[in-house]
Chains A and B, each alone.
Chain A
């Protein structure tokens, strides 16, 4: 087509300017997509969890589905008084939520949000298509751990401090097996690029390496700090843990990042193990262009639904049991999975 032709001509002539324009537009778009997506995730979690619990959930603001509930909550959070404890480490305290949101934006920059199917070819929707994006995303996801520690430590509160310690201990124990799982996938895909990993999945890696899939799911839930691994918050023990002292919009930011991460984490899981946006092309004129997007969205929704299901039916583990499970079971098993991936991967290479 003419437009695509002229755009590619411009890209060839002025690569630096083209990259800048794409970067700025992409940043604006992903910031909007991720944040709106996270809001939908929060609303969805409240509705689905209510379904599991046999109650209604939000059903007043914005019609019977309560779709505007989040807007109301956001207005409340924005207008609340911003309280900083007198004895808090003020600088760190203020920056912790910002670091948390920076972490999620860094993840969002490198993660492909799907693809457009135009003229028999997939054009992945990714801002920074770097060669090691799988590893980069996994590393950037754990910036949340730093933010959690900053928030908990600077609050100068006993509950928060314990929550911060718990968060870090848990994160270290599960980052390693998670990384090993990403490596196993990369070994099979012969690439660390998420787009290439998706394209190489003729068989979903969930089936090619089931052990790695299970470990990755558990480690991901831990990373996201959801039940049964929400020890750093543990409302009934340490009163929301690391964010006890936060209120108003700062608390809102921290809370929001958890759901941003849940969304990005489930996209990552779909990309690495569930075949990403791959699926049969729907033979209807407009839908065929966005059909990869539809497939990815469906997978992400199923993964998120699974997370909520887990939340409504499992108990919270004790922190020593969590680290125990991480170091004594998950790490050795993930190494076993790596060996499996090397064997199978080299056989099919």
Chain B
């Protein structure tokens, strides 16, 4: 088994002088600052020689005091070993520019676009450096830099100016005040890049093709995002994605809130998976603080996160079914009714149905209520029989198989290359689950299987989710048997100011690998929180998957990913 120090020495021997600074945190985490000229070679070396075949994302950091910016490339492996390498590349704050990794990793595209639009770091060799999350008005303001002063105040409509467009529409524009122009918060010089519409229209080759919008307001989308398809009749020739319709800037907001307040924001990233998001954020900070979580709290966390996984899978599958069967489809309602049982269980502990804010640094907020285990033992066998029923129902339905088999196939190699995560990845046959790869809490002691599919099509993705629910039920049953008595919070007093440091923490969200990269500069607020969302990673693969399918299949593929644009946009 490869460990972090072996990886470090391998890089150092292959490229002498490339590693400017390094820290081996544990066997599984390697932090290294790489010479910006050598980053491509180092990444290539990692991928080809050391099995780092999982480009997990990248984060931008603005070190305003040091007058430099940093891009952190997060590299991991799909099961060959468990090392996560955090490679930092430094660049001066004036005209920041680093080399793009899109040539090596297909999925680096979106991560680099996001860093570009938020921090203004240019990526040399990036093929399509267009805005992804931001609206056009904000482009060039680089809002996530530390010296960003905020957007002009648009809350009062007093300054609105009425404008008639050439097409005959009326629009209202709000010109900035001179003070705002002086403060530099208004972009006066527009960047030159083709708009989404121009890029789409360039692809139209004949008169019989047209662009059709599936979103941002469409019955198919689970939240607002724009999926444009270039269709000829019923055939989809090309697909375009545009995000940012619910971009809330959560990462930036968390920089301005205390450490504890940050937990509430993780809830809002994806409200059907808020417990995993809590866990991810708190876990990262526990790592910086070096806190030990009491055993009982660990069990409580595992129980709740698995319950939350079950309810997330239920609503994900149910919503998807309405996409190919219409809202009158009865099993969708059954799933929602069953989900109520699970939600009530979680509610009895956390007091909230969706946004729990339950996990705390070094423990949980409160203990399990009396009779929780009995209630669980009533609900879980019922859920188990229902889930088995659903699995059987879909296995037997001929129309279901006609619609779903062979639709949106992701092959294992492609899945790894494109960085798909969660059930879609496992449906492709890659057994990659954070609960096994990067185990946290008491997961190593529990017995469960990583559910995988064989074909990687839409039917498999649904099947994997349903069978994962059975595994979750099995996990919860074990936890209920083993959970010890004891404290639910750490004895150590959690300080208000977190000592300087950084951590990268990964959990298995219902939608896949969720990672949070938290930096502390010793203050009472995070210096930077980077969320590596699972659906953001899966989202990217939609565009190539939809090419050449039918419109109806496009809906079946997009729906089977169990999307959460809220978490992708953050």
Q: Do A and B come from one complex?
A: yes
Q: CB within 8 Å of B: which residues of A?
A: 49, 52-55, 158-159, 162, 165-166, 227-228, 230-231, 234-239, 311-321
Pick the 8 closest A-B CB pairs, nearest first: A53-B333, A312-B330, A315-B325, A318-B552, A236-B323, A315-B399, A236-B219, A52-B330
Instruction: Name the prevailing secondary structure of the A interface residues.
Output: helix
Q: Smallest distance from the beta carbon of A182 to chain B beta carbons, Å? A: 26
Q: Smallest distance from the beta carbon of B183 to chain A beta carbons, Å? A: 42
List the A side residues contacting B324 at CB < 8 Å: 236, 315-316
Contact A317:B326 (CB < 8 A) given known A234-B552, A236-B219, A237-B220: no
21 A–B contacts, CB within 8 A, in A order:
A52-B330, A53-B328, A53-B332, A55-B333, A162-B234, A162-B551, A228-B399, A234-B552, A235-B219, A236-B323, A236-B555, A237-B551, A312-B328, A312-B329, A313-B331, A314-B399, A315-B321, A315-B324, A315-B397, A316-B326, A319-B552
List the B side residues contacting A230 at CB < 8 Å: 326
Chain A residue nearest to B400 (CB atoms) is A315
Picked from B212, B323, B328, the residue with its CB within 8 Å of the CB of A159 is: B212
List the A side residues contacting B550 at CB < 8 Å: 318-320
Q: Smallest distance from the beta carbon of A156 to chain B beta carbons, Å? A: 12
List the A side residues contacting B333 at CB < 8 Å: 53-55
Q: Are A319 and B326 in contact (CB under 8 A)?
A: no
Picked from B334, B403, B553, the residue with its CB within 8 Å of the CB of A315 is: B403
List the B side residues contacting A315 at CB < 8 Å: 321, 324-325, 329, 397, 399-400, 403
- Is residue B291 contacting chain A, with contact meaning CB distance below 8 A? no
Q: Are A237 and B552 in contact (CB under 8 A)?
A: yes
Assembled-state Cα–Cα distance A318/B324 (Å)? 9
- Is residue B38 contacting chain A, with contact meaning CB distance below 8 A? no
Chain A residue nearest to B212 (CB atoms) is A158
Picked from A49, A54, A158, A321, the residue with its CB within 8 Å of the CB of B328 is: A49
Chain B residue nearest to A45 (CB atoms) is B328
Chain A residue nearest to B221 (CB atoms) is A236
Q: Are A54 and B323 in contact (CB under 8 A)?
A: no
Assembled-state Cα–Cα distance A159/B327 (Å)? 19
Q: Smallest distance from the beta carbon of B216 to chain A beta carbons, Å? A: 13
Assembled-state Cα–Cα distance A317/B332 (Å)? 18
- Is residue B159 contacting chain A, with contact meaning CB distance below 8 A? no
Picked from B233, B322, B334, B399, the residue with its CB within 8 Å of the CB of A317 is: B399
Assembled-state Cα–Cα distance A334/B503 (Å)? 69
List the B side residues contacting A313 at CB < 8 Å: 329-331
Assembled-state Cα–Cα distance A314/B402 (Å)? 12
B461-510 interface (Cβ within 8 A of A): none
Chain A residue nearest to B401 (CB atoms) is A315
Assembled-state Cα–Cα distance A35/B220 (Å)? 33
Q: Smallest distance from the beta carbon of A153 to chain B beta carbons, Å? A: 15
- Is residue B337 contacting chain A, with contact meaning CB distance below 8 A? yes
Assembled-state Cα–Cα distance A235/B210 (Å)? 20
Q: Smallest distance from the beta carbon of B197 to chain A beta carbons, Å? A: 15
- Is residue B218 contacting chain A, with contact meaning CB distance below 8 A? yes
Assembled-state Cα–Cα distance A159/B219 (Å)? 12
Assembled-state Cα–Cα distance A52/B331 (Å)? 9
Chain A residue nearest to B556 (CB atoms) is A318
Q: Smallest distance from the beta carbon of A55 to chain B beta carbons, Å? A: 6
Q: Are B330 and A236 in contact (CB under 8 A)?
A: no
Assembled-state Cα–Cα distance A312/B332 (Å)? 10
Assembled-state Cα–Cα distance A316/B399 (Å)? 8
Q: Are A227 and B322 in contact (CB under 8 A)?
A: no
Most buried by B among A165, A231, A235, A315: A315
Most buried by B among A54, A165, A316: A316
Assembled-state Cα–Cα distance A12/B559 (Å)? 68
Assembled-state Cα–Cα distance A236/B331 (Å)? 17
Q: Smallest distance from the beta carbon of B26 to chain A beta carbons, Å? A: 47
9 extra interchain contacts, Cβ-Cβ under 8 A, other than A54-B334, A235-B327?
A53-B333, A53-B334, A166-B234, A230-B326, A312-B328, A312-B330, A315-B403, A316-B324, A318-B550
Chain B residue nearest to A51 (CB atoms) is B330
Chain A residue nearest to B399 (CB atoms) is A315
Picked from B233, B334, B551, B553, the residue with its CB within 8 Å of the CB of A238 is: B551
List the B side residues contacting A237 at CB < 8 Å: 220, 551-552, 555
Most buried by A among B324, B328, B337: B328
B128-152 interface (Cβ within 8 A of A): none
Assembled-state Cα–Cα distance A313/B332 (Å)? 10
Q: Are A54 and B403 in contact (CB under 8 A)?
A: no
List the A side residues contacting B219 at CB < 8 Å: 235-236, 239
Q: Smallest distance from the beta carbon of A211 to chain B beta carbons, Å? A: 19
Assembled-state Cα–Cα distance A319/B333 (Å)? 26
Assembled-state Cα–Cα distance A227/B328 (Å)? 9
Chain B residue nearest to A50 (CB atoms) is B333
Q: Are B322 and A158 in contact (CB under 8 A)?
A: no
List the A side residues contacting B218 at CB < 8 Å: 239
Picked from A235, A238, A239, A320, the residue with its CB within 8 Å of the CB of B326 is: A235
Assembled-state Cα–Cα distance A321/B210 (Å)? 23
Chain A residue nearest to B329 (CB atoms) is A312
Assembled-state Cα–Cα distance A311/B332 (Å)? 13
Q: Are B330 and A53 in contact (CB under 8 A)?
A: yes
Assembled-state Cα–Cα distance A68/B356 (Å)? 41
B219-273 interface (Cβ within 8 A of A): 219-220, 233-234
Q: Smallest distance from the beta carbon of B386 to chain A beta carbons, Å? A: 12
List the A side residues contacting B327 at CB < 8 Å: 235
List the B side residues contacting A238 at CB < 8 Å: 551
List the A side residues contacting B234 at CB < 8 Å: 162, 166, 319-320
